[in-house]
Structure 1
Amino acid sequence: MSDRRTGLRERKKQLTYQAVSEAAISMFLERGFDQVSVAEVAAAADISKPTLFRYFPAKEDLVLHRFADHEDEAARVVSGRADGLSPLEALRDHFLDGLDRRDPVTGLCDNPQVLAFHRLLYGTPSLVARMYAYQGRSEAALARALDPGSRVTAQLAAGQIIAVLRILAMENWRRIDAGETAGQVHDDAVAAARIAFRQLADGLRGAAPGGGA
């Protein structure tokens, strides 16, 4: 019974996170991030300001909550990879699959709502700065997946991999934001990803356990 109550509390907590974040993002998209106060978000979500800050330590986290599930995505891909597949091969295949699925995380998504969210994110300096903290946690999780001892070589490898994923996604988003469709960008995005992972494989060969592609 205790486990059931704990599970229910956790689901309720996650639903609250989601509801507050979505309400905040809707307001930010309509009026601009800097034009909406935390107090206004709390009122719209029908919670107190102190309660909101218990869920979201910073105003920027109201937006970046959408990335929370992706913080350890690279680490999960590496840890769950098939036998005989190197970490880079697994990450490459996962990214290529994301391009085919038009996963927003790859930047290759021309859904109007996704584009509006990305414009909010990349057009707000404080959000871009806060996003680096999320990427730092992604690097740390990936380094542990590459090497449980998290040696410096694994940390360096993780930093390079996460940087490449970010650059690929940003280039895809930049082209779509400039007016191209996801279909028009897709082939170039795939080619760029393959080149990037080949370069990573050449540079990281032997630097981390199973690092080569």
Structure 2
Amino acid sequence: MSPAATHPSLIQALRTETAELHVALEKRLPFFSQRLDMDLYRRLMAAYYGFYQPLEQRLHVLALVPTGLDQSLRVKLPVLRADLAELGLDEAAIEALPTCQALPRIDSRAAALGVSYVLEGATLGGQILRRRVAEQLGLDASSGAAFLNVYGELTGRRWKDFLQYLDDRNLGEARTLEVTRAAKATFSHFEHWLDSQKVLL
């Protein structure tokens, strides 16, 4: 048996380990529900902000962003803030939004990579959600749905770059486990947070 067959690639490990959690969360997101109206969408984006704000901050403060990735290109928070402003929240209201305190543990570069996998993957999924929000609510990047198209035309390119970055890592079994554990924790914590904010189905 070849080494590749013995040890799945980091990308394969992440996909396999997170698949169930990913599907479970997708089924509960209200984007494709008939209940999706402006009020629910506004609350949903506020809840996203409440998770991304402390998580991006922690990644930044711990300086554990994986080296070789230009993280400044991958920060989502300013776009989320701009969307919330378009949706009628002023600065004070955005600052007053509740933020998630139960975050995944980020205590190594491997863990940061697992968290980044979930955040970057969400940008790819955002392309489908963007079209849905345009059809259902008539929103686009200039009226409160920029976050769902945060990389614009560069979405595919940035995702491929990220996958290439993962493919280039040769982390070994223990580190790979750290990455997948952090990715799974990110999905779980995100679902629990959205649930607490009463925006899931």
What's the TM-score, normalizing by structure 1? 0.29
Greater relative contact order, per chain length (Cα 8 Å cut-off, separation 6+): 2
Larger Cα-atom Rg: 1
